[in-house]
């Protein structure tokens, strides 16, 4: 037997709700690819979120964090659920994910939104509004009101929103590079007519764009207007960069453009090749245990991991092409108008992967 090319350690954090159901499909996909590309895949499964609270009392146990720090990448399912919604609880499952993003310095959250033409009918929007939808939202992930000082009383509460120049610069530079690589434009979304933090975002972004990215078209837009344009003229956007909370809200909105929340992948990145990959759909308590969760957002997240953290671009392209083909052929779950279960949809992607090699892939 030939020696393996390398060793990759991936930490799996299935979490709550449908998280474990879609993470199981990610695991099968990765295992197959490790064989195809001749590397040793070391998988370690750890607890996060509500599942971790039930087992240890903490949403992010030290053991989980330690494992993540030694990994090449993390694949996360979802956190949260109605069983942990009691406002009297001292901790919440979501705190586990937030603490993990912060501890690992994952400041840039990439959320691509690309419409498969066949799914135009699955979107609540009229198909004529959806033509050409292909955008990338770069959401700042470790700052803003999510992480500012909190006060919480019976008669008063406060979530401080702060941003430093450095925090803005690094994520804007990342987004501008993506826009340049795509040959596209960058839109900064803010609320500069009201918020001081937004005015700093605008100042910093404008100077970066004039000094370092003069070749990349740039515009800014107020978040309320952007929320409207995402449904009235989504194809006008290319790369969006925005602060943490706006990015959270706008990406749920944007997910409706491509037919289903279950479609959107994401990559949370810091300075190096390390990253955390998760679908944006959340724990979906209403469909837990039914075997109908759409695994494509998760599998596409694994694709982003192969691209960014493992440096295996061909594998990433194969995953994307296979998902695309499954949709073209109606091999998908109910939310996309298909009839497949989660595991059958995952299996369909793995089967179609086998149909591609480097020579059959069209780039782009």
By the criterion CB under 5 A, which residues form the site for Mg ion? 248
How does DSSP assign 203-225, residue by residue? HHHHHHHHHH-TTS-EEEEEHHH
Strand, coil or helix: 13: strand
Catalytic annotation, pick one of 107, 146, 218, 356: 146
Burial of 225 (0-12, 13-18, 19+ CB in 10 A): exposed
- The one of Mg ion, ligand IPM, none whose footprint includes residue 94, by CB under 5 to 8 A per kind, is ligand IPM
Q: Which is nearer to ligand IPM, 243 or 248 (CB)?
A: 248
19 binds ligand IPM (CB under 6 A): no
The footprint of ligand IPM on residues 243-272 (CB under 6 A) is 248
- 224 assigned to active site: yes
Cα-based distances in Å from 136 to 160, 201, 251, 265 = 27, 19, 10, 11
Is 181 tagged catalytic? no
Using alpha carbons only, how large is the chain's radius of gyration in Å? 20
Among 26, 47, 76, 97, binds ligand IPM (CB under 6 A): 97
Q: Which one of the listed residues 203, 224, 290, 351 is annotated catalytic?
A: 224
Interacting span for ligand IPM (CB under 6 A) from 91-99, 161-169, 291-299, 335-343: 91-99
Calpha distance 248→251 (Å, rounded): 6
The residue count for binding ligand IPM (CB under 6 A) is 7
Structure tokens at 350: 């793995």
Of the candidate residues 80, 96, 144, 234, the single one contacting ligand IPM (CB under 6 A): 80
101 versus 174: smaller Cβ distance to ligand IPM: 101
Select the residue whose beta carbon is closest to ligand IPM and give its number.
Answer: 94
Would you call 86 a catalytic residue per the annotation?
Answer: no
Whether 16 is a known active-site residue: answer no
Give 5's contacts (C-beta < 8 A, 6+ positions apart): 37, 38, 39
Using CA atoms, how far residue 143 sits from 140, 165, 306, in Å, is: 7, 11, 27
For residues 164 and 349, give the distance between their C-alpha atoms in angstroms, rounded to a whole number. Answer: 43
- In the residue annotation, 252 being an active-site residue is answered as yes
Least distance (Å) between residue 301 CB and ligand IPM: 12
**Positions marked catalytic:** 146, 191, 224, 248, 252
Contact positions vs ligand IPM (CB under 6 A): 79-80, 94, 97-98, 248, 280
């Amino acid at each position: 037997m030939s020696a393996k090319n390398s060793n990759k350690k991936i930490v799996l954090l299935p979490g709550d709700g449908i998280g474990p159901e879609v993470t199981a499909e990610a695991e099968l996909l990765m295992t197959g690819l490790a064989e195809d590309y001749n590397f040793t895949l070391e998988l370690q499964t750890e607890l996060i979120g509500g599942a971790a609270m039930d087992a240890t009392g903490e949403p992010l146990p030290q053991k989980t964090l330690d494992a993540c720090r030694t990994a090449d990448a993390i694949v996360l399912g979802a956190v949260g659920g109605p069983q942990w919604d009691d406002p009297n609880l001292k901790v919440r499952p979501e705190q586990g994910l937030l603490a993990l993003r912060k501890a690992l310095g994952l400041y840039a959250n990439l959320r691509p939104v690309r419409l498969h033409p066949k799914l135009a009918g699955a979107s609540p929007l009229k198909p004529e509004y959806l033509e050409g939808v292909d955008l990338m939202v770069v959401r700042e992930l470790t700052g803003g009101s999510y992480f500012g000082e909190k006060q919480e009383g019976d008669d008063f509460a406060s979530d401080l929103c702060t941003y430093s120049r450095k925090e803005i610069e690094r994520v804007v530079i990342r987004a501008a590079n993506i826009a340049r690589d795509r040959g596209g434009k960058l839109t900064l979304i803010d609320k500069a007519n009201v918020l001081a933090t937004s005015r700093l975002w605008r100042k910093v972004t404008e100077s970066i764009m004039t000094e370092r990215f003069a070749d990349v078209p740039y515009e800014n837009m107020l978040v309320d207007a952007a929320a409207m344009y995402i449904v009235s003229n989504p194809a006008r956007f290319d790369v969006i960069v925005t602060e943490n909370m706006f990015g959270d809200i706008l990406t749920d909105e944007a997910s409706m453009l491509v037919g289903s929340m279950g479609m959107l992948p994401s990559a949370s990145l810091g300075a190096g090749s390390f990253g955390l990959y998760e679908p944006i759909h959340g724990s979906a308590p209403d469909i837990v245990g039914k075997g109908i969760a759409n695994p494509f957002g998760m599998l596409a997240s694994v694709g982003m991991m192969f691209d960014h953290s493992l440096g295996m671009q061909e594998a990433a392209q194969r995953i994307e092409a296979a998902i695309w083909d499954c949709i073209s052929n109606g091999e998908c779950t109910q939310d996309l108008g298909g009839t497949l279960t989660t595991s059958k949809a995952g299996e369909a992607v793995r089967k179609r992967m086998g149909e591609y090699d480097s020579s059959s892939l069209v780039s782009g």
